[in-house]
Copies of this chain bind each other. A is one copy, B any other.
Amino acid sequence: MTAPTAYEKHDHHQCIDEALLAARKICKKNGARLTALREQVLSKVWQSHRPLGAYAILELLSDEGQGHPAPPTVYRALDFLQENGLVHRLASLNAYIGCDAPGRAHDSQFLICRHCQITVEVASDSVSSALKTCAERRDFAILHSSVEIVGECPNCQQAQS
């Protein structure tokens, strides 16, 4: 099994299902409580491979008839999901996306298509080690790092020409 690359057509329900399964497993291991609300937020985040803003998630929850939750509800769920490595926040977009490799410690590296917004998480060892070397050279102790690369995905480049 190869992971779907997001750009390609794929059975996206599988992405959501896998994400939820992985999340349950990880939370169990961490002794963290993946409540119904948190699962709902996580599945909204996974509804596409595009980053989603907190207020967009809020609307989706409303639409689903879960009452009309207030912002803190969503932000708290997102905080929980981030703490448990299940979602990442993309600072340049004020938006959130499901983590592709939850459970493994890793920094945050993304390719973001400015056209279609499809965003893929990458886990480049050479990027990571370049960052590490760069920091070490300056005696800087890394706590966490984030890489956000904005550009055009293969599909959108083709559509252009």
Interface residues of A (CB under 8 A from B): 5, 91-92, 109, 111, 113-114, 120, 122, 124, 126-127, 129-131, 133-135, 138-154, 157
Contact = CB atoms under 8 A, between A and B. Distances in A.
A154 B130 contact: no
Given A91-B92, A92-B91, A142 B134 contact: no
A154 B122 CA distance: 29
Contacts of A134: 109, 111, 122, 124, 126-127, 149
The complex is assembled from copies of this chain, and their number is 2
Secondary structure dominating the interface of A = mixed
A91 B149 CA distance: 13
15 contacts: A91-B91, A91-B92, A111-B134, A124-B134, A129-B130, A139-B153, A139-B154, A140-B149, A140-B151, A141-B152, A141-B157, A142-B151, A143-B152, A145-B149, A146-B148
B138 A92 contact: no
Contacts of A140: 111, 113, 149, 151-154
Given A111-B135, A122-B138, A134-B127, A150 B154 contact: no
B150 A148 contact: no
B131 A157 contact: no
A155 B30 CA distance: 34
A134 B147 CA distance: 12
